[in-house]
Chain A
Amino acid sequence: MAGLELLSDQGYRLDGRKATELRKVQARMSVFAQADGSAYLEQGNTKALAVVYGPHEIRGSRSKSLHDRAIINCQYSMATFSTAERKRRPHGDRKSSEMSLHLKQTFEAAVLTELYPRSQIDIYVKILQADGGNYSACVNAATLALVDAGIPMRDYVCACSAGFVEDTPLADLCHAEESGGGTALALALLPRSGNIALLQMDARLHQDHLDTLMEAAMTACKEFSKVLDSVVRQHLEEVSDLTRD
């Protein structure tokens, strides 16, 4: 993409943001009444829906239940119309399976599964519109859905992507920046303890810049945690107002 300039000389990006600015995040909880927990999240133009069916008995084969903790079942899917070109996306293809596995590992680290032995927690995430940062939108939406379902967690799991263009780390990449071929780092963080729940990086980056890039991603995750916290507090105020009346 020789025509597009990812970072201008004045330090502005394609969509007018500074290097460390996030896109506008809007989120709503309790979107569906029939689910135990649900959330809708917009991260710029990326739209994600997450649904959680709370701790319930193991369905299907009971041989996979664990006697000391719950198992987490994650399923990630993208809508056919979510990208510019229509793609039929079966659930079994490799990228969806890998993304489901990453989500499962992320939330196995964050959710207190020891409190629900022999149980199953289902997390279903769907991307309605993809404009970069799909993994982080899924993680953030699923975190809100888990909070809505009342499942105890260690901390908010906040995920963000980061890139590296012209020796400058960029936070919260959009699709043009992701497909530009540069480095893309996706990081899921528990912001209070600073623990990294999942780390994934593609494309080449020199080792000396890894510290800078991870620092930028962690800072962006902490900003995300503030946004998620405000959404949750607003939702709790509304719910408590309703119950108070």
Chain B
Amino acid sequence: MRDTPLSNCERLFLLKAIKEKKRLDGRQTYDYRNIKISFGTDYGCCVVELGKTRVLSQVSCELVPPKDSRPTEGIVFFNLELSPMASPAFEPNRQSELLVTLNRQLERCLRNSKCIDTESLCVVSGEKVWQIRVDVHVLNHDGNLMDAASIAAISALSHFRRPDVAIQGRDVTVFGPEERDPIPLSIYHMPICVSFAFFLQGSFLLVDPCEREERVKDGLLVIAMNKHREICSIQSSGGIMLLKEQVLRCSKIASVKVSEITELINKALENDKKVRKEGGKFGFAESMPKERITTLKRDEAPVEMTDVKETADDIVQRTETTTETVPSPILVATGTAQIGEGIVNSWGLDEDEDDELQTEDRKTDEVVVITDSEEEEVVILNDQKSKKTSKQK
């Protein structure tokens, strides 16, 4: 499915607004949208909302043999997926340019800057190392996926805990989360991407472009920095012609933005840790706003329901037991009929002429079994008749 094309009126209006240094949602040129970071119930799960852009990140770990070239280092693997729920233009299982760009940018930003201590992930050199896997899913696309993905990935890595491992000689013991507390990863610094969109051959510059601004832009420059003012990655794309002064100015703006975002991430992590320690509620559901039209979440009313449930269970059991008594007479009748047939069979083995009579008796017995208990007396009479006939002979 294709995106809805952008009209010329909208394009011209956007460019004119950018010339006058105005943005559609009222932000300034160098402002980010409202960033919201929430963590899931499990460690290593994180959702980042950058305005309307939503990105989910989940970190998992596994013990694997290491690579031959680096036997003492763990493996960190990044995967970013553009699901069709983010935008109708994203088709599943299709390697588009945007997917390649985002994946490679995320990999270079987080791996090549050495933000995670991979040597601390080694358990047995050459045999067992931890493999950390970061999966980033884009849930809603409203522009600036790179910034949201990098914030989600680094927040999830900071939030993640791996199981504790004990080594004695050759024995390696992995403990579950109930036996021992899981251990956080060793993270040196937090690289965060900042995107700059250029308009009108690089004359105008915007931070954090939304989806419409991304469709109007000429080029994009992504600078990944940490709060120590170290540049981890720079990537320009879109075929824009830049000058050196523009890149230097962008790096100065990026250092300010990265400091703010790093402070926000640390605050979110501290809040989550505090809530978990105090035994409060955590997870995605708790961060949803209450009592809104689109949200079916409200405070639970204190109504006692356990006794009601037990009473209902008793009532259900009584009705079941009463119905169970109904088929028992049939079973008794069936058992009695079986005994009668046995007697007849033992009589028939002595004389061969009575076989025909026995077959007739069997038919009548079958009829008796189906009907009520009144005809059981008839069965007894038939037995007496058969006895009389045998005595006469």
Q: Which residues of A pack against B, CB within 8 Å?
A: 92, 94-95, 97-98, 101-102, 105-106, 108-109, 185, 190, 193-208, 210-211, 214-215, 218
Contact = CB atoms under 8 A, between A and B. Distances in A.
Contacts of A92: 95
Most A CB within 10 A of own CB, among B97, B229, B236, B252: B236
B232 interface: yes
A240 B241 CA distance: 34
Contacts of B113: 203-204
Contacts of B344: none
B18 interface: no
A185 B251 CA distance: 15
Nearest to A194: B243
Given A202-B112, A207-B252, 6 more contacts: A101-B101, A101-B237, A194-B243, A203-B113, A205-B230, A211-B244
B242 interface: yes
B14 interface: no
B113 to A, nearest CB: 5
Contacts of A218: 244
B26 interface: no
B276 interface: no
B46 interface: no
Contact of B236 (A190, A199, A202): A199
Contacts of A198: 236
A95 B101 CA distance: 10
A196 B236 contact: yes
B200 interface: no
Nearest to B238: A105
Interface in B210-240: 221, 225-226, 228-240
B11 interface: no
A211 B236 CA distance: 17
Contacts of B112: 202-203
B232 A203 contact: yes
10 contacts: A94-B103, A190-B241, A197-B241, A201-B231, A203-B112, A203-B114, A205-B230, A206-B228, A207-B230, A207-B251
Interface of B: 95, 97, 100-101, 103-104, 108, 112-114, 221, 225-226, 228-244, 247-248, 251-252, 255
Contacts of A211: 244, 248
A206 B229 contact: yes
B101 A207 contact: no
A220 to B, nearest CB: 14
Given A92-B95, A207-B255, A109 B231 contact: no
Contact of B233 (A190, A201, A207): A201
B262 to A, nearest CB: 15
Most B CB within 10 A of own CB, among A190, A194, A205, A208: A205
A101 B108 CA distance: 16
Contacts, number: 92
Contacts of A102: 237
Given A196-B247, A204-B230, A204-B231, A109 B100 contact: no
A233 to B, nearest CB: 26
A207 B247 contact: no
Contacts of B234: 185, 199-201
Nearest to B104: A98
A210 B231 contact: yes
B100 A97 contact: yes
Nearest to A101: B97
Contacts of B247: 196, 199, 210, 214
A196 B243 contact: yes
B100 to A, nearest CB: 4
B225 A195 contact: no
Contact of A206 (B221, B230, B238, B241): B230
A196 B251 contact: no
For the complex of A and B, 10 pairs with smallest distance between CB atoms: A195-B241, A201-B234, A108-B239, A109-B239, A97-B100, A98-B104, A196-B242, A199-B236, A207-B229, A105-B239
B95 A97 contact: yes
A196 B240 CA distance: 8
B244 A214 contact: yes
A204 B114 contact: yes
A200 B234 CA distance: 5
B101 A196 contact: no
B295 to A, nearest CB: 39
Contacts of A210: 231, 247-248, 251
Contacts of A194: 243-244
A211 B108 CA distance: 21
A204 B232 contact: yes
Contact of A199 (B95, B101, B235): B235
B239 A215 contact: no
A94 B226 CA distance: 26
Contacts of A101: 97, 100-101, 237
A215 B231 contact: no
A205 B228 CA distance: 10
A215 B101 CA distance: 26
A194 B354 CA distance: 122
Contact of A195 (B229, B238, B242, B255): B242
Most B CB within 10 A of own CB, among A92, A194, A201: A201
